[in-house]
Structure 1
Amino acid sequence: MRRDFGGPDDLVAMQGMASRLWSPHSRFHPGQLAWNRYSRPVDAAGVDDGEAISIWEAGGEAVGFGWAEAPDWLELQVDPAHPEVAEELLEWFEEVSDAEQQSALVMQGDVAEQALAAAGFAPEEDGPFFVHHVVELVDLPPVPALEGYALRQVSADEAGPRAAVHAAAWSDVGPSQVDAQAYAQVMAAWAYRADLDWVVTDASGELVASALVWLDPATGVGLVEPVGCVPEHRGRGLAAAVTLASLHHLRSIGGTLGQVTPRGDDGYPGPQRLYRSLGFRPTARTVTWTRSLD
């Protein structure tokens, strides 16, 4: 049975599926879905213009979902026990999309690959891709001392400053949609925890770096998403320190594994080098599949 997205409860159903299927080789962690949904101002009960989300269920649980973030871009996950959903999902995407070229992102070897190929999609040989990395939390290096800076957790009333440090850290990539409203949505989402949201402050108390970790209590896996440091404070180990601080706290509350998914291609190598220096090791990569309908 398929239904269109109807609000926060449906996102929780998608997160529950991601949790149930999680492995180092699966596409989504529940925290990724929460960040993708709420890291911009949205109508919690609906979708944006040009966006569409649909969920497939069997036996009372989600077994697949498609998230057309734009007419030309599809995110999806299909339960390997229900491979037939992939074909229905791609037919749905074609119905809701009017783009002449369409792309879909899946993990290499994903159950949906056969349906993608049958629908005329082909894997891209070049271009950006992402690589899941994991670290056993017992193997974490210590949190380094930071001269002139301090590490702390975010307070519940700091949505505005927390959004501002994220936006500043990503300013060289492009304008950020993360504002105070969006970050308040993030803080209200399952499975956000303020004790896993860490920042670095400078001598004046200004927030200059941040790292957010999402704990899935069912698996014990904490997803690092996102991390950032404002440009004028880079090169001082702040991103590494704030990431380690959040991961050490994750371990202290029962987390067992950390996950992060940086770019794996040569176009943006810095984050991958950072995370590997902290003990993260690669597991599986994404593949973009594209088709033209013109």
Structure 2
Amino acid sequence: MTIVLGEPRVDELGSAVRALREWQYDGSPFQLHPGDIGWFWRFGPEATAAAVRTWSRDGRILAIGLLDGPDLLRLTMAPDVMRDEELARQLADDLAGHHVLPAGKVYLEAIQGALVHDLLTDNGWGVDEPWTPLRRDLTEPVADPGVRIEVVGPDLVSTRTAVQRSAFGGSTFTDDRWHAMAAGLPYADARCLLAFDDNGDAVATVTVWSAGRGKPGAVEPMGVHADHRGHGHGRAITLAGAAVLRELGSSSVVVYTPSANVGAVATYRSAGFEAGPEIRDRRRDA
């Protein structure tokens, strides 16, 4: 049968999330994680469904994309179809035909090693700025972060969102959006954490996402309050997040960040993450 491009309904998002969980494994190329859909869920289930694309054959989902903005598609696929020629050609055709991304300058984050990269190059896609992937094994216990850590519940939501907005200029993360995210399917295996300094001030935050026992978890996002930078709080909250993922059964924790953000790369490395070879999004200028 032919490969079908789909736009799932809200009640079909569970199938996409389950597929993403199945595709995560230690040593895999960096790829779309269930937590990426979970973080997007802050905009609500309808918006999340509208941003997800699936490619299926014989009723099986082969590839999943997340429109993480109007001009960026984040794409991954099942490990056994990375070099599937029919899938690669369908993906390339859908991208060339503007069925997924609009005309003009657009970006594609596609899992490394997939055959579709060869076809994209033939179709005039270039590469964009480098990103640094980082990974930490969770076999051994994680060091104590050295600060007070709290798991965010209803009483700490406003503090959590305030730290987020301070850490990321232009952030629109509100209490309502936290509650929307927390009501999403992926958040069943996620936690939001806050770090507090000796004065009782909330200084950093992280959200961690498990993909299930024995699979890599993800941290997205992690940020330090603008008034409390330069004191090691990014390392502390990252260690706390890694420890929580280990408790949830994750085998490792992964994250990636723009290589130009040398401060973020240094923070993750200080928390025991190892940097892998740089990866680049694909870019089409017209």
* TM tier, smaller: 0.7 to 0.9
Which whole-Å deviations, capped at 9, do the CAs of 1:189-246 have from their partners, x for residues lacking one? 2332587321112456442211221111154322111111111111111121122122
Contact kept? 2:73, 2:101, Cα under 8 Å: no
Alignment of 1:222-261 (within 5 A): 222-261=217-256
Distance 1:96 1:220, change over 3 A: closer
Alignment of 1:1-294 (within 5 A): 1-7=4-10, 9-10=12-13, 12-23=14-25, 24-35=28-39, 37-39=40-42, 41-42=43-44, 44-46=45-47, 52-79=51-78, 80-81=80-81, 82-93=84-95, 94-124=98-128, 127=129, 129-139=130-140, 141-146=142-147, 150-171=148-169, 175-192=170-187, 196-202=191-197, 205-263=200-258, 265=259, 267-293=260-286
Q: Structure 2 stretches of 5 or more lacking a match?
A: none
Name the CA distance, whole Å, in 2 between partners of 1:83 and 1:284: 26
Name the CA distance, whole Å, in 2 between partners of 1:69 and 1:249: 26
Name the CA distance, whole Å, in 2 between partners of 1:258 and 1:121: 31
Distance 1:46 1:227, change over 3 A: closer
User: Shift of the alpha carbon at 1:273?
Assistant: 1.0
In the alignment, residue 221 of structure 1 is paired with which amino acid?
Answer: P
Distance 1:246 1:104, change over 3 A: closer
In the alignment, residue 21 of structure 1 is paired with which amino acid?
Answer: W
Contact kept? 2:30, 2:112, Cα under 8 Å: no
Which whole-Å deviations, capped at 9, do the CAs of 1:86-113 have from their partners, x for residues lacking one? 3323433413544322221224433320
Name the CA distance, whole Å, in 2 between partners of 1:236 and 1:243: 13
Contact kept? 1:107, 1:284, Cα under 8 Å: no
Name the CA distance, whole Å, in 2 between partners of 1:193 and 1:210: 18
Name the CA distance, whole Å, in 1 between partners of 2:211 and 2:116: 25
Name the CA distance, whole Å, in 2 between partners of 1:292 and 1:242: 38
- Corresponding pairs, count: 276
Q: Structure 1 stretches of 5 or more lacking a match?
A: none
User: Shift of the alpha carbon at 1:22?
Assistant: 1.9
Q: What is the SS of the residue equivalent to 2:124?
A: coil
Contact kept? 2:76, 2:111, Cα under 8 Å: no
Distance 1:9 1:207, change over 3 A: farther
Q: What is the SS of the residue equivalent to 1:158?
A: helix
Name the CA distance, whole Å, in 2 between partners of 1:253 and 1:76: 26
Compute the RMSD of aligned alpha carbons: 2.7
| More divergent stretch after superposition (179-188 vs 218-227) | 218-227
Which whole-Å deviations, capped at 9, do the CAs of 1:231-274 have from their partners, x for residues lacking one? 111111112112212222332343321212122x2x21111111
Distance 1:185 1:108, change over 3 A: same
Contact kept? 2:124, 2:284, Cα under 8 Å: yes
In the alignment, residue 63 of structure 2 is paired with which amino acid?
Answer: G
Q: What is the SS of the residue equivalent to 2:185?
A: coil
Contact kept? 2:65, 2:76, Cα under 8 Å: yes
Name the CA distance, whole Å, in 2 between partners of 1:253 and 1:21: 18
In the alignment, residue 270 of structure 1 is paired with which amino acid?
Answer: G
In the alignment, residue 15 of structure 1 is paired with which amino acid?
Answer: V
Contact kept? 1:71, 1:99, Cα under 8 Å: no
Distance 1:201 1:290, change over 3 A: same
Distance 1:190 1:131, change over 3 A: farther
Larger helix share, 1 or 2: 2
Distance 1:74 1:90, change over 3 A: farther
Using structure 1 for the length normalisation, give the TM-score: 0.82
User: Shift of the alpha carbon at 1:38?
Assistant: 2.1
Name the CA distance, whole Å, in 2 between partners of 1:120 and 1:61: 30
